[in-house]
């Protein structure tokens, strides 16, 4: 059966990149929930072949969309040409800015790296965070009012506003306008961290950081809709720093060297490797930490792009069941009913519900619901660890750039004021 499906949907074996092991792994994540692509069927064997068909159709559909890929590529080239010729202008604002972005459509770990920068720098400088505010219900420039509402700000800005009360958090589709609005505040920020800004070329950051995932690097991907890249791989040249995210902690020197060569960077571009570290779970509405090793069974509930690493980590600590929703999914009362029933079916005596920090901001909106009463909902925090390269340390590199630029701008402002 599998051989026939392979021959039917993959006419060229060169592009057959989904192995039997990978398909089994994907099938294990499928849950009986209609909100997700895999969660339509219930029997394990039927679900297994359903995933085979879905993955096969994905590549077939990509080939049918190849003409659209050509037109999209032409549009990207034309847009970049307009910036190169100066017809579309870039603005370098009079404030130190750090841009964090990627080439792919998502899942490279922007939010934890933005959090890393805020933790590193917000204690030394008057810092602001500016994001687009994806999936928010507002529009235009919106400043956090202290309520940290995901409806006003979006999931990631709301989460970061809650974690960093000393940071000014704002969202705006037009980043140039957002920066100007932030500079009108008193006191004005000395540093602005820009989330997901790599393709927003109207604004030129002081430091441009490009993220690429170790397991899915840009040099193995293609432009939309055939692949998952927003623009061509050559856009990597705009980056000052490239961080390879979600990388193994034990990369041998040869693999590291080969990977860096595959990135095809210029001599001035610095490369760092980062890992995701999982911390002890904390209650949704509390601070007391809990060790996963003391838990018999966990119900993992996620609404993020790539929850597989988290589920693998939880499964290594205890027995786990996964309910997977689409990225940025808004939890409803029906979802809570399904989650509660699934939790009650768990067999262990010591059991809990585990979710991500991004999903937690949406769970808190339903915290007063009767369906949440008595449910032990915990949040699994994550942190980023960035390995130093052979020549540079990431923290020292960023701190040096920011310190010099902030000092220079301060002198410029004082000179202008004296004049």
Chain segment 273-330, per-residue pLDDT in tens: 999 999 999 999 878 889 999 999 999 999 988 888 899 999 999 999 999 998 888 8
- Domain chopping of the chain, boundaries: 17-64, 96-276+386-409, 280-380
Residue 155's closest CA among 325, 377, 333? 325
Better pLDDT: 233 or 227: 233
pLDDT tens per residue across span 114-167: 999 999 999 999 999 999 998 899 999 999 988 888 889 999 999 999 999 999
Residue 250 to residue 258: CA distance in whole angstroms: 15
Contacts of 316 (CB under 8 A, 6+ apart): none
Q: Read out DSSP for 131-150? A: E--TT-S--S-EE--SS--H
Q: Is the pLDDT of residue 17 over 70?
A: no
Q: Given CATH 1.10.8.640, say whether it is the number of domain 96-276+386-409.
A: no
Q: How confident is the model at residue 366 (pLDDT cuts 50, 70, 90)?
A: confident
The answer to whether the predicted template modeling score (pTM) of the entire model surpasses 0.85 is no
CATH architecture of 280-380: 3-Layer(aba) Sandwich (3.40)
Rounded CA-CA distance 199/102 in Å is 8
Same CATH fold, 280-380 and 96-276+386-409?
yes
Query: CA geometry: angle at 415 spanning 409 and 419, to 5°?
Result: 145
Q: Is the dihedral of CA 172, 173, 174, 176 positive or negative?
A: positive
């Amino acid at each position: 059966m599998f051989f026939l499906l392979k021959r039917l949907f993959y006419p060229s074996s060169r592009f057959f990149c989904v192995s039997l092991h990978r398909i089994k792994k994907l099938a294990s994540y499928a849950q009986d929930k209609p909100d997700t692509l895999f969660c339509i069927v219930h029997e394990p064997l039927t679900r297994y072949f359903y995933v085979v068909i879905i993955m096969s159709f994905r590549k077939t559909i990509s080939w049918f969309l190849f003409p659209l890929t050509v037109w999209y590529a032409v549009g990207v080239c034309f847009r970049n040409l307009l910036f190169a010729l100066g017809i579309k202008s870039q603005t370098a604002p009079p404030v130190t800015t750090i841009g964090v972005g990627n080439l792919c459509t998502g899942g490279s770990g922007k939010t934890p790296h933005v959090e890393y920068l805020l933790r590193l720098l917000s204690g030394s400088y008057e810092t602001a965070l500016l994001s687009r505010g994806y999936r928010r219900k507002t529009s235009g420039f919106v400043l956090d009012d202290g309520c940290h509402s995901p409806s006003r700000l979006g999931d990631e800005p709301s989460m970061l506003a809650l974690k960093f009360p000393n940071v000014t958090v704002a969202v705006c589709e037009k980043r140039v306008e957002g920066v100007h609005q932030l500079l009108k505040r008193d006191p004005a920020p000395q540093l602005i961290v820009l989330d997901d800004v790599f393709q927003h070329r109207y604004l030129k950051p002081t430091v441009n950081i490009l993220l690429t995932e170790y397991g899915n690097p840009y040099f193995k991907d293609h432009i939309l809709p055939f692949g998952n890249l927003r623009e061509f791989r050559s856009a990597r040249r705009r980056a000052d720093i490239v961080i390879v995210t979600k990388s193994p902690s034990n990369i041998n020197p040869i693999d590291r060297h080969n990977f860096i060569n595959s990135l095809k960077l210029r001599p001035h571009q610095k490369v760092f490797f980062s890992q995701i570290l999982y911390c002890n779970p904390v209650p949704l509405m509390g601070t007391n930490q809990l060790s996963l090793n003391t838990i018999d069974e966990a119900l993992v509930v996620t609404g993020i792009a790539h929850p597989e690493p988290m589920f693998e980590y939880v499964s290594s600590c205890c027995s786990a069941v996964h309910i997977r929703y689409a990225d940025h999914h808004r939890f409803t009362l029906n979802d809570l009913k399904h989650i509660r029933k699934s939790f009650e079916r768990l067999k262990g005596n010591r059991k809990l519900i585990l979710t991500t920090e991004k999903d937690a901001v949406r769970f808190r909106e339903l915290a007063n619901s009767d369906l949440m009463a008595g449910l032990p909902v915990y949040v699994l925090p994550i942190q980023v660890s960035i390995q130093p390269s052979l020549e540079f340390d990431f923290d020292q590199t960023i701190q040096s750039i920011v310190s010099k630029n902030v000092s220079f701008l301060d002198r410029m402002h004082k000179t202008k004021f004296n004049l």
